[in-house]
Copies of this chain bind each other. A is one copy, B any other.
Amino acid sequence: RIQIFQYQVMKWLLALLVGSAVGMVGFFSNIAVENIAGFKLLLTSNLMLHNRHMEAFLLYMFCNAVLAATAAALCAYLAPAAAGSGIPEVKAYLNGVDAHSILAPSTLFVKIVGSIFGVSAGFVLGKEGPMVHTGACVASLLGQGGSRKYGLTWNWIRYFKNDLDRRDLITCGAAAGVTAAFRAPVGGVLFALEEAASWWRSALLWRTFSTTAVAAMVLRSLIEYCRSGNCGLFGKGGLIMFDVSSRVTAYTATDIAAVILLGILGGLLGALFNFLLGWILRTYGIINEKGAPFKIILTVAISLVTSCCSFGLPWLSPCTPCPPELPASRCPTIGRSGNFKKFSCPAGHYNALASLFLNTNDDAIRNLFSGGTDSEFGVTTLLTFFVAVYSLGLVTYGVAVPSGLFIPVILSGASLGRMLGKLLGSLTGLDTGLFALLGAASFLGGTMRMTVSVCVILLELTNDLLLLPLIMLVLLIAKTVADCFNKGVYDQIVRMKGLPFLEVHGDACMRSLVAGDVVSGPPITFSSVERVGSVVHTLRRTGHNGFPVLEDEPFAPAPELCGLVLRSHLIVLLQGRIFTRDRVKTGAAEVFRKLAPFDFAKAGSGNGLKVDDLGITEEEMEMYMDLHPITNRSPYTVVENMSLAKAAVLFRDLGLRHMCVVPRTPGRPPVLGILTRHDFMPQYIRGLFQNVLRE
């Protein structure tokens, strides 16, 4: 009873701890980006002020290349799993894919540092996706009680060494990551619910919400602290926050038509983005496979292209006179990040393209979203920026740095939306800043196909509930249009990485198959009291994680299915050396005198014992071990003629890892095989199905 209470309290403490840790990491990474990128931009614009354009360009390019190379080197040598957004990996983990190193401590380190360097390097990429991955890593690390490899472990965390609690905690971590990236606590919860988690329980809702609330509070109080100027030169910006106060309550038919048009455009361009991204990722995959140096070279090359674009394109834009109502201190901006960049213009003028390109991405988004500034950016400026950002966003994702997709998508969407707003001009009563916001929403809907979470995140960013109908409309249209062409970008990446992700709806081919069709051959089984040697040999020979246990001769008249035993539990039992000379039952009491229940707890990633490390002697090999105490006596089973589609529902909805297939008629072996996650992958079934057809 006390243990249950302790467990409950710890679960909550851990969740809150994750929240505050993620909030702090989010704040730290934000401040770091602001300072590094700010310092770089300050140096460049100082040189520009003295008309040393070439030097400024070279310095800018050099800084970017060095930052990019560092990030890529970290990624390539230390933790290749840290490249990319990380959201697909987190999604797959929460679906039950236990891939190595997804949530390892080294991944966490590289994800944070690499993301800071990557964003500072001026790439068109975001820190939002990596933040979600970071949140998940932090949660995993805390949930494991630290890392055994680095000698940081707590023992009191042992209650949480199981799949369910670990997955719950990582869901909380991912939600906190979104919150840390967007300051959106409700949005974080809905992101976890809609995009990240594959299983959801009501109880999780409140825990996740607490985590995100703590993360938001920590973040807000740290930012509050920074407002007093304690966080370096550039600690004020970052974390896009767009306070639109244009309270629109009525829309005309033209407005609605414009929004619908924007939704269709967002859907089409979003689907195109996903399609092109898939193609580019395959191409990059070939380059990246050649080794770490190639990864770094690719990254630096993209960095150079990005630098040329950001620095070169503004030259195409003419200088615009500052709006007369603004004070000279606000326009042009000299030597700090902000609106109205001076670039190469004479006094009292600003370069519109430079205001977008030579800025951090957050500032560019804020510029695009800003209301009441209809004339700041012209149509040509916005079109140039849109084309550049759309293409750069495509070629940047896939290089070996932690790179989120939110920012490129928001940037292209916002510039497109604002452009449409400019083009419509006085035809619509909506602000161009609002158009930028709607454009961003439509692009997010078109690429990521998230709906409610994007909606709520944008609501929380704008703090204005009255925008809700327009945002929902544009999202609905964009998602519907894009769904006609391909799947969401994260699903696409999951599939390209070959992660065995269980979809909600099984493939159509499953409906005409039965469970018996996909079972491959007779399974490797153990007798309920098995010779040690046979267990060891089997474990060495195969990589299977679960084995059916059969009750036979002395213990039952005919062989019958006793249950399922896990590889990890077998290894713990072998390590405990609870063997007997003769083939007899030892009983559970014997086992649990030597081993505590916690010894069977699931180990963290990569911490599992190996069979070969146990050093079983020849003599011991001839002894027997009783598998009854560690056998799961009630494995979920399906009859061989069960529809495969229904078996898949059972497998997925209950979150199983193994499912036994039993025969329908007596007189056959009591278990026909074991179905695992891989047996439900459409590719596998389709391959098998062809064979069945041919036969």
A residues neighboring B (CB under 8 Å): 185-186, 189-190, 193-194, 200-203, 205-206, 209-210, 213, 216-217, 224, 249, 451-452, 455-456, 459-460, 463, 465, 468-469, 472, 476, 504, 514, 558, 560-561, 633-634, 636-639, 641-643, 646, 649-650, 653-654, 662, 664-667
**A641 CA / B452 CA spacing, docked (Å):** 44
Please, which residues of chain B bring their CB within 8 A of the CB of A639? 561, 637, 662
Please, which residues of chain B bring their CB within 8 A of the CB of A664? 560-561
Given contacts A194-B205, A206-B451, A514-B634, 17 further A-B contacts (CB under 8 A): A186-B186, A186-B459, A193-B193, A194-B202, A200-B200, A201-B504, A202-B504, A209-B455, A213-B472, A224-B249, A463-B465, A558-B665, A633-B641, A634-B641, A637-B637, A639-B662, A653-B653
Decide: A649 near B654, CB < 8 A? Known: A202-B194, A460-B465, A558-B665: yes
**Cβ-defined partner of A456 (8 Å) among B186, B202, B452, B653:** B186
Q: Which 7 pairs, one residue from A and one from B, show the smallest C-beta to C-beta distance?
A: A666-B666, A634-B643, A206-B451, A634-B642, A634-B646, A209-B452, A213-B472
Please, which residues of chain B bring their CB within 8 A of the CB of A224? 249
Decide: A452 near B637, CB < 8 A? Known: A200-B200, A468-B213, A665-B558: no
Please, which residues of chain B bring their CB within 8 A of the CB of A469? 213, 217
Q: Are the CB atoms of A654 and B643 closer together than 8 Å?
A: no
Q: Are the CB atoms of B666 and A650 closer together than 8 Å?
A: no
Please, which residues of chain B bring their CB within 8 A of the CB of A476? 210
Please, which residues of chain B bring their CB within 8 A of the CB of A206? 194, 451-452
**Cβ-defined partner of A210 (8 Å) among B201, B472, B666:** B472
**A646 CA / B564 CA spacing, docked (Å):** 14
Closest B residue, CB atoms, query A668: B666
Please, which residues of chain B bring their CB within 8 A of the CB of A455? 209
**A19 CA / B217 CA spacing, docked (Å):** 35
Decide: A209 near B634, CB < 8 A? Known: A194-B202, A249-B224, A653-B654: no
Please, which residues of chain B bring their CB within 8 A of the CB of A662? 639
**Could you name 8 residue pairs across A and B whose Cβ atoms are closer than 8 Å?**
A186-B186, A186-B456, A194-B202, A200-B200, A558-B666, A633-B641, A634-B641, A634-B643
Oligomeric state, in copies? 2
> Which among A249, A451, A561 has the greatest number of chain B C-beta atoms within 10 A?
A451
**A448 CA / B514 CA spacing, docked (Å):** 45
Q: Are the CB atoms of A665 and B186 closer together than 8 Å?
A: no
**A682 CA / B190 CA spacing, docked (Å):** 34
Please, which residues of chain B bring their CB within 8 A of the CB of A654? 649-650, 653-654
Please, which residues of chain B bring their CB within 8 A of the CB of A209? 451-452, 455, 472
Nearest Cβ on chain B to A202's Cβ, whole angstroms: 6
Please, which residues of chain B bring their CB within 8 A of the CB of A636? 646, 650
**A15 CA / B217 CA spacing, docked (Å):** 36
Please, which residues of chain B bring their CB within 8 A of the CB of A641? 633-634
Q: Are the CB atoms of A452 and B189 closer together than 8 Å?
A: yes
**A70 CA / B32 CA spacing, docked (Å):** 68
Nearest Cβ on chain B to A188's Cβ, whole angstroms: 12
Nearest Cβ on chain B to A313's Cβ, whole angstroms: 38
Please, which residues of chain B bring their CB within 8 A of the CB of A560? 664-665
Nearest Cβ on chain B to A464's Cβ, whole angstroms: 9
Closest B residue, CB atoms, query A664: B560
Nearest Cβ on chain B to A199's Cβ, whole angstroms: 9
Please, which residues of chain B bring their CB within 8 A of the CB of A190? 205
**A584 CA / B436 CA spacing, docked (Å):** 69
> Which among A206, A455, A456 has the greatest number of chain B C-beta atoms within 10 A?
A206
Please, which residues of chain B bring their CB within 8 A of the CB of A189? 452
Nearest Cβ on chain B to A39's Cβ, whole angstroms: 30
**A206 CA / B471 CA spacing, docked (Å):** 13
**A398 CA / B203 CA spacing, docked (Å):** 29
Please, which residues of chain B bring their CB within 8 A of the CB of A642? 634
Nearest Cβ on chain B to A17's Cβ, whole angstroms: 15
Decide: A633 near B643, CB < 8 A? Known: A209-B452, A249-B224, A472-B213: yes
Nearest Cβ on chain B to A491's Cβ, whole angstroms: 12
Please, which residues of chain B bring their CB within 8 A of the CB of A665? 558, 560
**A203 CA / B452 CA spacing, docked (Å):** 10
Please, which residues of chain B bring their CB within 8 A of the CB of A213? 468-469, 472
Nearest Cβ on chain B to A334's Cβ, whole angstroms: 32
> Which among A460, A561, A634, A662 has the greatest number of chain B C-beta atoms within 10 A?
A634
Nearest Cβ on chain B to A539's Cβ, whole angstroms: 26
Please, which residues of chain B bring their CB within 8 A of the CB of A460? 465
Please, which residues of chain B bring their CB within 8 A of the CB of A456? 186
**Cβ-defined partner of A666 (8 Å) among B193, B472, B633, B667:** B667
**A638 CA / B558 CA spacing, docked (Å):** 20
Please, which residues of chain B bring their CB within 8 A of the CB of A451? 205-206, 209
Closest B residue, CB atoms, query A209: B452
**A649 CA / B201 CA spacing, docked (Å):** 13
Nearest Cβ on chain B to A207's Cβ, whole angstroms: 10
Q: Are the CB atoms of A452 and B205 closer together than 8 Å?
A: yes
Q: Are the CB atoms of A193 and B205 closer together than 8 Å?
A: yes
Please, which residues of chain B bring their CB within 8 A of the CB of A633? 641, 643
**A185 CA / B456 CA spacing, docked (Å):** 11
Closest B residue, CB atoms, query A473: B213
Q: Are the CB atoms of A468 and B646 closer together than 8 Å?
A: no
Nearest Cβ on chain B to A91's Cβ, whole angstroms: 12
Please, which residues of chain B bring their CB within 8 A of the CB of A193? 193, 202, 205
**A203 CA / B654 CA spacing, docked (Å):** 18
Please, which residues of chain B bring their CB within 8 A of the CB of A463? 465
Closest B residue, CB atoms, query A451: B206
**A563 CA / B345 CA spacing, docked (Å):** 81
**A450 CA / B636 CA spacing, docked (Å):** 33
Closest B residue, CB atoms, query A250: B224
Please, which residues of chain B bring their CB within 8 A of the CB of A637? 637-639
**A650 CA / B633 CA spacing, docked (Å):** 16
**A633 CA / B224 CA spacing, docked (Å):** 63
**A638 CA / B190 CA spacing, docked (Å):** 35
